[in-house]
Amino acid sequence: MNASQSSWNRIAADAFAVLARWLLGAVFLYLGLNKALHPVEFLKLVRQYDLVQSSLLLNSIAAALPWFEIFCGLLLLAGVAVRGTAVMLIVMLVPFTVLVFRRALAIQSALAIPFCAVKFDCGCGNGEVFICRKLLENFLFILFSVWLLAGYGRNLCVRHSLMSCAAKTSLTEEGGSNGSI
Amino acid sequence: MVAAAGMVLAFGANLVSPRGLALTRNYFPAGISRPVPVARDVTNTNPPASSPAQLLAVRLKEQGLQSVDGRQAAQLFHDPRFTQGSIAFIDARDEQHYREGHIPGACEFDPYYPEKYFAAVLPVCQAAEKIVVYCNGGDCDDSESAAILLRDVGITNQKLFVYTGGIPEWITNGLPVEIGGRNSGNLRSTNK
């Protein structure tokens, strides 16, 4: 009974992790495409964060980030290099969430309005959003990414881990050839 | 590995995309830094000392450019010299916004893709004595960028005026806008 229940729990967790992977992949693909199709608008939004003073760096961020998100989205949807992609998402999402939070604080202070009433286009790819909703959304995405990094969502993957798959394949081949001898 | 492959693909995709950004171009000739919003005193009903229009006016002065307000822009529009080509209006917004409605007779000049428009805009600017550049008003500084680009190709500072209120103020003032291409004749009244 206990074994059957734990087996069901594992199946449910795996199914949910696959859904989370697909959701993250679809969201990043959609947001990346929105930015890649309107690069000038995205460039203007990145500029508002006052991150860099060099036009080369600013242009590079605005030019590469949308396509990088599309790439990560496609990898997650297909289930290729899932853990490496999850690391990339965390690396992008954490600093971006901090930047969005800081900008929202500046807007709140300038307009003297409640924090959750702050609404602006953060350059996320889906237009103007309320800050509290955006922060909650990012928190969930970070949580999903950590979950994928922990090794969940392996089902229905084309190639979950590039490195370990290659290592496993070579080991199997080695074992196979040894066996044949 | 994901990061390296992703970066290579991302820069490659930007390179081949028709809308891709030119990495070495300075898209913001007036300066990359954006003014930080200043805290508003809620007990003071006067506009803040550093409103977008005032900040823009200061920046224009630093760039040696002149500004015009809504009343002056309307006067220039109704001036007979406008129809003779001695006064020109330049719309520094993107193509979509331009086609949705611009100051009648204004030339389209998106400062993010200047090479696409120079051939049509330069003869108009060279023939004009006064050139009024505008965009979306508020904190939009694309008109400033367009004016600087025009100055860089030989249009003198004395000719260039930035209409700080831009198209929103124009519409608020009930002045007509033209839909579609330049001189399409498809005018829309914005009288309230």
* Span B84-118, pLDDT tens digits: 989 999 999 999 999 999 999 999 999 999 999 99
Q: Does B23 sit within 8 Å of A56, measured CB to CB?
A: yes
Tens of pLDDT, residues B120-164:
999 999 999 999 999 998 888 899 999 999 999 999 999 999 999
Predicted local confidence at residue A157, as pLDDT: 73
Domains in chain B, number: 1
The amino acid at A123: G
- Angle formed by the axes of helices B142-152 and B52-62, nearest 10°: 10
DSSP states of B32-91: SPPPPPPPP-TT--SPPTT-HHHHHHHHHHHTT-EEE-HHHHHHHHHSHHHHHTSEEEEE
- Categorize the per-residue pLDDT at A160 as very low, low, confident or very high, splitting at 50, 70 and 90: low
Q: CA distances (Å), B51 to each of A109, B36, B135, B165, in order? A: 15, 11, 17, 12
Cβ-Cβ contacts under 8 Å for A59 (sequence gap 6 or more) = A43, B21, B22, B23, B24, B25, B27
Q: Is residue A166 predicted with pLDDT exceeding 50?
A: no
- Categorize the per-residue pLDDT at B12 as very low, low, confident or very high, splitting at 50, 70 and 90: very high
Mean pLDDT across chain B? 86
Query: What is the spatial distance between Cα A22 and Cα A12, in angstroms, rounded to a whole number?
Result: 15
Predicted local confidence at residue A180, as pLDDT: 31
> Domain segments of chain A: what residues?
2-180
Angle, vertex CA B70, rays to CA B64 and CA B72, nearest 5: 65
Predicted local confidence at residue B56, as pLDDT: 76
Tens of pLDDT, residues A22-70:
999 999 999 999 999 999 999 999 998 888 889 999 999 999 999 999 9
Contacts with B27 from chain A: Cβ below 8 Å:
40, 43, 55, 59
Cβ-Cβ contacts under 8 Å for A33 (sequence gap 6 or more) = A66, A70, A125
- Categorize the per-residue pLDDT at B174 as very low, low, confident or very high, splitting at 50, 70 and 90: very high
Predicted local confidence at residue A150, as pLDDT: 82
Predicted local confidence at residue B39, as pLDDT: 41
Reported ipTM: the value is 0.78
Query: What is the spatial distance between Cα B56 and Cα B92, in angstroms, rounded to a whole number?
Result: 15
Backbone dihedral angles phi then psi of residue B144, each to the nearest 5 degrees: -65, -45
Whether chain A has a CB inside 8 Å of the CB on B94: the answer is yes
Using DSSP bridges, classify how beta strands B177-178 and B187-188 pair: parallel, antiparallel or unpaired: antiparallel
The residue of B1, B2, B16 whose CB has the most chain A CBs within 10 angstroms, and thus the best one to mutate to test that interface, is B2
Backbone dihedral angles phi then psi of residue B45, each to the nearest 5 degrees: -90, -10
Q: Is residue B45 predicted with pLDDT exceeding 50?
A: no
Contacts with A55 from chain B: Cβ below 8 Å:
24-28, 32
Predicted local confidence at residue A173, as pLDDT: 41
Find out whether A153 and A25 touch, Cβ atoms under 8 Å.
Answer: no
CATH number of the domain encompassing residue B107: 3.40.250.10
Q: How far is B31 from chain A (nearest CA, A)?
A: 9
Question: For chain A, what is the radius of gyration of the CA atoms?
Answer: 20
Query: What is the spatial distance between Cα B178 and Cα B103, in angstroms, rounded to a whole number?
Result: 6
Whether chain B has a CB inside 8 Å of the CB on A37: the answer is yes
Choose the closest CB to A68 out of B6, B22, B36: B6
Query: What is the spatial distance between Cα B165 and Cα B168, in angstroms, rounded to a whole number?
Result: 7
Q: Which residue has the higher pLDDT, B178 or B62?
A: B178
Query: What is the spatial distance between Cα B143 and Cα B134, in angstroms, rounded to a whole number?
Result: 5
Choose the closest CB to A111 out of B5, B11, B40: B40
Structural domain contains residue B5: no
- Categorize the per-residue pLDDT at A164 as very low, low, confident or very high, splitting at 50, 70 and 90: low
Whether chain A has a CB inside 8 Å of the CB on B112: the answer is yes
Q: Which residue of A has its CA nearest to B27?
A: A55
Closest among B118, B158, B174, B20 to A42, alpha carbons compared: B20
Predicted local confidence at residue B96, as pLDDT: 92
Tens of pLDDT, residues A4-31:
778 888 788 888 888 989 999 999 999 9
Using DSSP bridges, classify how beta strands B87-91 and B130-134 pair: parallel, antiparallel or unpaired: parallel
Structural domain contains residue B94: yes
Query: What is the spatial distance between Cα B106 and Cα B183, in angstroms, rounded to a whole number?
Result: 8
- Categorize the per-residue pLDDT at B34 as very low, low, confident or very high, splitting at 50, 70 and 90: low
Closest among B113, B117, B125, B119 to B156, alpha carbons compared: B125
| Average pLDDT of the residues in A90-118 | 92
Using DSSP bridges, classify how beta strands B160-163 and B130-134 pair: parallel, antiparallel or unpaired: parallel
Q: Which residue has the higher pLDDT, B182 or A13?
A: B182
Question: Domain range spanning residue B164?
Answer: 52-188
Predicted local confidence at residue B48, as pLDDT: 52
Q: Containing H/E element for B187?
A: strand B187-188
- Categorize the per-residue pLDDT at B58 as very low, low, confident or very high, splitting at 50, 70 and 90: confident
The count of CB pairs under 8 A between chains A and B is 102
Query: What is the spatial distance between Cα B96 and Cα B104, in angstroms, rounded to a whole number?
Result: 16
Q: Does A85 sit within 8 Å of B39, measured CB to CB?
A: no
Whether chain B has a CB inside 8 Å of the CB on A55: the answer is yes
Q: Does B23 sit within 8 Å of A60, measured CB to CB?
A: yes
Query: What is the spatial distance between Cα A66 and Cα A131, in angstroms, rounded to a whole number?
Result: 21
Find out whether B68 and B166 touch, Cβ atoms under 8 Å.
Answer: no
Q: Does A55 sit within 8 Å of B28, measured CB to CB?
A: yes
Q: Which residue has the higher pLDDT, A83 or A159?
A: A83
Whether chain B has a CB inside 8 Å of the CB on A40: the answer is yes
Structural domain contains residue B71: yes
Percentage of residues in chain A with pLDDT exceeding 70?
85
Question: For chain B, what is the radius of gyration of the CA atoms?
Answer: 19
Q: Is residue A135 predicted with pLDDT exceeding 70?
A: yes
Choose the closest CB to B20 out of A39, A81, A109: A39
